[in-house]
């Protein structure tokens, strides 16, 4: 158990809909990262938050947004969903990531999103 | 965009053999990490090597880092069927605004045949 909790584990929704994925980081970790993994693809970095602030943005579509709350949990919002958004979405947390060395990241089990 | 690129994309070996995976990257890094992913599950951290280190060991794992060539290798010795998984390298690099970003490659799919 990595200590990172992602909910829900599975999500099936229709095109055009909006979903919210939730992540609770490991206790004490201030950095949260979101990644997208499509079939046979590596992990595409979407966005990083550190202690409530957005710190880095990767290949995140404008239809996607995220935030990190004061209790450090994070949510990834995906809207106007398309078939191509079907993927595994991972959240990871680490102790560092802002002004300090990045140490190992701890991953949740992911949310498998299927858009039909 | 992918920072690290693993090679080969897939590797099939017999149990007991050694498995070597390589990773190349493009920009300066702070450290390089290797992760393992069992099918469809979350990634698990294996080992971290800092930019001023050249080699690191952990159990049956040996990682090397050559910053002049911007490359790293992961060696798994005496492989077991349970080592079957995808292996990813990840580079930690400064991304501005006081932040470090962790960027992953596409991974090497390792199959260990009993």
pLDDT digits (tens, 9 = 90+) for B77-106: 999 999 999 999 999 887 776 677 888 988
CA dist., res. B35 & res. B110, Å (int): 13
Percent of chain B with pLDDT strictly greater than 70: 93
What's the angle, vertex CA B21, arms to CA B45 and CA B7, rounded to 5?
115
CA dist., res. B66 & res. B11, Å (int): 22
The full length of chain B comes to 114
Confidence of residue B40 (pLDDT cuts 50, 70, 90): confident
Q: Given CB atoms, is B69 within the 8 Å cutoff of chain A?
A: no
User: pLDDT at position A20, please?
Assistant: 98
Decide if B44 and A4 are in contact by the 8 Å CB cutoff: no
User: pLDDT at position B1, please?
Assistant: 47
A47-57 pLDDT tens trace:
999 889 998 88
Tell me which range, A26-40, B13-27, B90-104, is most confidently predicted by mean pLDDT. Answer: B13-27
CA dist., res. A47 & res. A15, Å (int): 23
Please, which residues bridge with residue B113 across strands? B14
For chain B, the average pLDDT equals 91
Q: Given CB atoms, is A24 within the 8 Å cutoff of chain B?
A: no
Please, which residues bridge with residue B20 across strands? B75
Residue A102: strand, helix, or coil: coil
Token pair in block for residue B8: 């080969």
Q: Given CB atoms, is B33 within the 8 Å cutoff of chain A?
A: yes
């Amino acid at each position: 158990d990595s200590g990172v909790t992602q909910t829900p584990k599975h999500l099936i929704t229709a095109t055009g809909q909006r979903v919210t994925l939730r992540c609770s980081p490991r206790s004490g970790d201030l950095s949260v990262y979101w990644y997208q993994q499509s079939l046979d693809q590596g992990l595409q970095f979407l966005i990083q938050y550190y202690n409530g602030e957005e710190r880095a943005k990767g290949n995140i579509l404008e239809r996607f947004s995220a935030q990190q709350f004061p209790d450090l949990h994070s949510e990834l919002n995906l809207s106007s969903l398309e078939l191509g958004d079907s993927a595994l979405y991972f959240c990871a947390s680490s102790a560092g990531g802002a002004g300090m060395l990045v140490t190992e990241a701890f991953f949740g089990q992911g949310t498998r999103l299927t858009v039909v | 965009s992918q920072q690290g690129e693993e090679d080969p994309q897939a590797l099939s070996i017999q149990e007991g053999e050694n498995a070597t995976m390589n990773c190349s990257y493009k920009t300066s890094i702070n450290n390089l990490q290797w992760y393992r992913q069992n099918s469809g599950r979350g990634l698990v951290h294996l080992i971290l090597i800092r930019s001023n280190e050249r080699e690191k060991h952990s159990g049956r794992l040996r990682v090397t880092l050559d910053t002049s060539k911007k490359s790293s290798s992961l060696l798994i010795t005496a492989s077991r069927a349970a080592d079957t998984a995808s292996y990813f390298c990840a580079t930690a690099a400064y991304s501005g605004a006081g932040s470090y970003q962790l960027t992953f490659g596409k991974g090497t799919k390792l199959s260990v045949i009993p």
